[in-house]
Structure 1
Amino acid sequence: MDARIERTRRALQGALLELAHERPFDELSVSLIAERAGVNRSSFYQHYGDRDELLADALDAAAAAAGADAPALELIPTGRPPAGMAHFLTHFADHAELYRRALGPRGSALVAARLRNRVAGLVREGVEHTHSHAFDDMPLELAAAGIAGSIVGVITAWLELDPLPDVDVAGEWVWRMVLGPGDTR
């Protein structure tokens, strides 16, 4: 990608994240975001179709910058979540207000779909890595989609709690949903 395009996209993403910590997302106009980024409205529309597309890219970039890649979801029934689970969930806690908006009832279908797809990919990798036979009688894509939906559902519900429980607690909840109803204690 051209360096100027990348620089403008990063400026817009950073402006959106900064502004979102100052006021609700629904109050952020394209003009305000563009002004904060130091570009004009037409530049915004040269790079993004709307605020939701920018939001999805900004959250993806923030997750990558924070090293918040989800832990490998190796579906080994242990009582403890994978070591990286808390780090993964910290990214959501750091941007809780944006994720509440993006994953909520009037949220961004694009953000939710990207998150589900990313988590489903991690589940597929985990199943393949562990050579699990738990899903041999069904398409792996179906199993990964179901587990990803559960994980995103738990994350969404956790972010709605006030006060927000600690990421370690949320990690335990996510892991219990991944493992299913069996007792792993």
Structure 2
Amino acid sequence: MTDARIVRTRAALHDSILALATHKPSGEISVSELAAHAQINRVTFYKHFASPGEALATALSIELDEARKRDGHHPPHIDAYTWYVHALVNQIEARRQLYTIAFRERVEGTVPLMLTRNLNDVAAAYLTKRRKKKPTVPDVDIDVAAAFIAAGTMSAIWVWTLEGDVHQERLFENLHHVLPEWFHAERKTD
């Protein structure tokens, strides 16, 4: 059982980092500022996170996991990876200002790195399952292929977010064209 104080502190830090990062890059948010906003002290902050960037990545990762759980399992005509990317893009839309700031930040880079890792994990799991189905995945190293696909997808999402006026449909149309054809072989319809 988790101590109620820890739960409250985590919730306060979660809300505070999201509020602050909606107005400026996490690399410009000091621990003192974040702690004051969360109404805790710096020592307490460091019991939970090493930096405001880590706090932001954790908060956004939790939100993305919750969004995926709300959306449930993907429909049969959409592969698991694309379904995850849909959940991610919807989450970015919901916090467009925060993600735009995070993607413009050149030094910190915590948010794109966290998202790339999540995309990599989902791509690796998808490709591993695809190895057991026909048509099979080509004889590629799953880790290499997943990393390549995740990094490319993240770069496309990054551009899409910063352009600001491109519709989701256009992003997915582009992803469908640039990802390897064998990657989408599981799809029943396009």
Q: TM-score, normalised by structure 1?
A: 0.75
User: Is the Cα contact below 8 Å between 2:128 and 2:142 reproduced in 1?
Assistant: no
Partner of 2:184: none
Partner of 1:169: 170
Whose helix proportion is higher, 1 or 2? 2
Partner of 1:8: 9
Q: How does 1:51-62 map to 2 (within 5 A)?
A: 51-62=52-63
User: Is the Cα contact below 8 Å between 1:52 and 1:108 reproduced in 2?
Assistant: yes
What are the ranges of 5 or more consecutive residues in structure 1 without an aligned counterpart? Answer: none
The 2-side partners of 1:148 and 1:94 are apart by: 21
User: Is the Cα contact below 8 Å between 1:155 and 1:174 reproduced in 2?
Assistant: no
CA shift, 1:17, in A, is: 0.7
SS of the aligned residue for 2:136 comes to: coil
1:63/1:20 CA distance change after superposition, 3 Å = same
How many residues matched?
176
The 1-side partners of 2:138 and 2:167 are apart by: 32
1:115/1:135 CA distance change after superposition, 3 Å = farther
Partner of 2:49: 48
The 2-side partners of 1:129 and 1:15 are apart by: 39
1:10/1:135 CA distance change after superposition, 3 Å = farther
User: Is the Cα contact below 8 Å between 1:12 and 1:34 reproduced in 2?
Assistant: yes
Residue by residue over 1:138-177, the C-alpha shift from the partner in whole angstroms, topping out at 9 and shown as x without a partner, is 211111111111100100111110x432223223223333
Partner of 1:134: 137
CA shift, 1:107, in A, is: 4.4
User: Is the Cα contact below 8 Å between 1:86 and 1:168 reproduced in 2?
Assistant: no
Does residue 151 of structure 1 match 2:143?
no
The 2-side partners of 1:84 and 1:106 are apart by: 26
Residue by residue over 1:102-145, the C-alpha shift from the partner in whole angstroms, topping out at 9 and shown as x without a partner, is 34461434433332221122112222333353331x21111111
What are the ranges of 5 or more consecutive residues in structure 2 without an aligned counterpart? Answer: 182-188
User: Is the Cα contact below 8 Å between 1:89 and 1:171 reproduced in 2?
Assistant: no
The 2-side partners of 1:52 and 1:147 are apart by: 24
User: Is the Cα contact below 8 Å between 2:124 and 2:143 reproduced in 1?
Assistant: yes
Calculate the aligned-residue CA RMSD, in Å: 3.4
CA shift, 1:49, in A, is: 1.2
1:29/1:120 CA distance change after superposition, 3 Å = same
| AA aligned opposite 2:137 | A
The 2-side partners of 1:142 and 1:17 are apart by: 33
1:2/1:171 CA distance change after superposition, 3 Å = same
CA shift, 1:44, in A, is: 1.2
1:152/1:101 CA distance change after superposition, 3 Å = same
1:86/1:144 CA distance change after superposition, 3 Å = closer
Partner of 2:185: none
Amino-acid identity (%) = 26
Q: TM-score, normalised by structure 2?
A: 0.74
1:106/1:12 CA distance change after superposition, 3 Å = same
